[in-house]
Amino acid sequence: MPTPVYLDNNATTRCDPAVVEAMLPYFTEQFGNPSSMHAFGASVGGAVKQARAGLAALLGAEHDHEIVFTSGGTESDNTAILSALEAAPDRDEIVTSAVEHPAVLALLSHLEKTRGIRVHVIPVDGQGLLDLEAYRAALSQKTAVVSIMWANNETGTIFPVAELAEMAKAVGAVFHTDAVQAVGKIPIDLKSTAIDLLSLSGHKLHGPKGIGALYVRRGSRFRSLLKGGHQERGRRAGTENTPGIVGLGKAAELALLHMDDEVTRVAALRDRLEKGLLQRIPNCFVTGNPRERLPNTANIAFEFIEGEGILLLLNRAGIAASSGSACTSGSLEPSHVLRAMKIPYTAAHGAIRFSFSRDNTDADVDRVLEVMPGIAEKLRALSPFWKGAGEAPAAFAPVYA
């Protein structure tokens, strides 16, 4: 078995050993409850404070207390949207995009169904760019909250959240951004924006799983999701996940240190992979917006073959990636992101996402460039649509059931 090549960092990242090391004492001797009066609690409270400051620095937040620790991205997204809705009882509309994560979209369709909330889903174009005219038209005095992601998890496309937030502010709506994929990958400076709420997740930036945070701009109206104790200034009840919080704090510190590496070296690895694949394999193309996107994400659609087959063969070669194909999701639904971008289905099914991190090297890129052409060739030989490079697809019109 060759050395494994991990290129699925948008799914999750390896927890940095320094993060693990920072966490360990909080499972053993530093077991105290930060809320306690005694010495056991006090030192733990200090560590939580330090983690909060570390994360605030990564986000460019003006105040440390704007950080609320949660269990992860999904909880943050849910808290943000439900809070904004509850805090504005005279507004009953939400604006979002067609390519959000299910943590947002599933919640919104639930609200639509159970509470009669009107949800405006803003479409995207072929490159995944938001239709700004439709966005502007959807905003009104009825908009309680706008929830638009900072960067898309599948294509890496970055949305102009700072501008979008200003537009939302103009109608008095709360602006939330799911920045799970952006935090740690691109520089963020919240204090210079009008963003009210921001969700992030620890395990996407080499932190542990089960910890995340919600940024709540000072002065925002806020309603907690979980009711209970006074933790997190009453904004998130439940005894703090201290090892997780300390781990996320450390991960944030490291992310800030590695930011230059991420936007230069990691981006160069990604670009070399993309270029190499496009050169070596006919009938494939990059999806998403090539100008404004995350430095670590490449999403390439290989026409006339299907993603799961590609992933199984890549996996056999020791390479981990992911796919927007229907067959790799439990639901059999093809990626809603690629569908929203109107990528033809014979290409969308063969879309593979390679997502890098600071752990990746040139050797990883070489390995993919070595095996991927053979995989595409093997599967195309099996495909009833494939006629040959540059040829129009075979006249194949199956009866669909």
Please give the residue ranges that form the binding site for another protein (CB under 8 A): 304-309, 312-313, 315-316, 325-328, 330, 332, 334, 345-346, 349, 381-385, 396-401
Return the number of other C-beta atoms located less than 10 Å from residue 46's C-beta.
Answer: 12
Closest approach of another protein to the CB of residue 203, in Å: 18
Nearest Cα to Cα of residue 343 among 303, 386, 376, 297: 303
Nearer to another protein (CB atom), residue 174 or residue 338? 338
Q: How far apart are CA 363 and CA 369, in angstroms?
A: 10
Closest approach of another protein to the CB of residue 327, in Å: 3
Whether the CB-CB separation of 235 and 83 falls below 8 Å is answered with no
Closest approach of another protein to the CB of residue 31, in Å: 36
Q: How far apart are CA 4 and CA 373, in angstroms?
A: 18
DSSP tag of 144: E
Instruction: Provide CB contacts within 8 A for 10, sequence distance 6+.
Output: 153, 154, 156, 181, 204, 296, 297, 322, 353, 355
Q: How far apart are CA 155 and CA 157, in angstroms?
A: 5
Nearer to another protein (CB atom), residue 42 or residue 327? 327
CA angle 220, 194, 66 (to 5 degrees): 45
The tokens 């943000």 sit on which residue? 80
Catalytic-residue membership of 327:
yes
Nearer to another protein (CB atom), residue 28 or residue 331? 331
- Positive or negative, the Cα torsion across 252, 241, 78, 53? negative
The residue annotated as part of the active site, out of 132, 312, 327, 394, is 327
Whether the CB-CB separation of 136 and 158 falls below 8 Å is answered with no
Phi, psi dihedrals of residue 36, rounded to the nearest 5°: -70, 155
Closest approach of another protein to the CB of residue 208, in Å: 22
Return the number of other C-beta atoms located less than 10 Å from residue 391's C-beta.
Answer: 10
Nearer to another protein (CB atom), residue 157 or residue 322? 322
Closest approach of another protein to the CB of residue 322, in Å: 11
Closest approach of another protein to the CB of residue 339, in Å: 11
Closest approach of another protein to the CB of residue 8, in Å: 12
Nearer to another protein (CB atom), residue 37 or residue 401? 401
Nearer to another protein (CB atom), residue 27 or residue 396? 396
Would residue 377 be called left, alpha or beta, if left means φ above 0 and alpha means ψ between -120 and 50 degrees? alpha
In this structure, are strands 284-286 and 297-302 parallel, antiparallel, or unpaired? antiparallel
Widest Cα–Cα separation across the chain = 76
Nearer to another protein (CB atom), residue 17 or residue 330? 330
Nearest Cα to Cα of residue 214 among 248, 265, 243: 248
The residues annotated as belonging to the active site are: 327
